[in-house]
Amino acid sequence: MIIYLLYITQSYIIHGMEELNKIIGNNLLCLRKKFNYKQSEVAEKLNYSDKTISKWETGEVVPSVENLVELCKLYNVSLDEITSKDFQSKKLDNFTKNSSTNKLIISLLAISAVWILATVIFVYANLISNSVIWQVFVWAVPASMVLSIIFNTLWGKPKANYIYISILIWSLLACFYLQFLQYNLIPLFFIGVPCQVAILLWSGIKKKR
């Protein structure tokens, strides 16, 4: 009976340790991916080999307390968090949300800079030369679309680029038309038709992939 109880206790401890190893390994793997680190980069920062980092992340080997402390410093988390089973569903989700919010704010700040510049040019021209160049706000639209395409390519949804490119083309045509109203450049808009068809076909190819 005593031997059986010892066996059960030992089995419980072993399975508990295995579960803890997997929890720590999964947390380390998710953290590394969230920070866009390669295993070689983490290994270099901690002066360990790639194989050791891989064993930590698969749960084959649990890092020592000293290594866990260094990993906590690297990923800016606490020791309790890195060993918590709920850490992935809470902390990492919050990290992703904060990261997405920051990227959106940066993108909007860059686009707002275009409209601030357009406003400054409009006010300057009105005060200095007493002329109203409202077209500057029209040109701000394609400029904003260029920035939207750049930032969306970096960290957005690729499919949204088709919309931005469509707006870019039609807004550019509108800019040239409004800039040179005296020449009646309505036929310019016919250029947008085959361009729009090409964009639709291009988006179809991307979807099939």
CATH entry, 2-85, from 3.30.930.10, 2.60.120.560, 1.10.260.40, 3.40.1390.10? 1.10.260.40
Residue-level pLDDT at 22: 83
CA distance 186 to 173: 9
DSSP state of 191: G
Compute the CA torsion angle 174, 180, 181, 183 (nearest 10 deg).
Answer: -120
pTM of the model: 0.57
Percent of the chain with pLDDT over 90: 33
Residue-level pLDDT at 19: 76
Top-confidence residue, 76 or 138: 138
Residue 120: is its pLDDT beyond 90? yes
Residue-level pLDDT at 137: 95
DSSP state of 186: G
CA distance 111 to 107: 6
Please answer whether residues 82 and 92 qualify as being in contact, where contact means their C-beta atoms are separated by less than 8 angstroms: no
Band (166; pLDDT cuts 50, 70, 90): very high
Residue-level pLDDT at 89: 47
Neighbours of 144 (CB within 10 A): 21
* Domain residue limits, the chain: 2-85, 89-208
DSSP state of 83: T
How confident is the model over 41-87, as pLDDT tens digits?
Answer: 888 888 888 889 988 888 888 888 888 888 888 888 888 788 777 76
Residue-level pLDDT at 151: 92
Please answer whether residues 155 and 143 qualify as being in contact, where contact means their C-beta atoms are separated by less than 8 angstroms: no
Residue 191: is its pLDDT beyond 80? yes
Q: Count of H helices and E strands in the chain?
A: 9, 0
Identity of the residue numbered 67: N
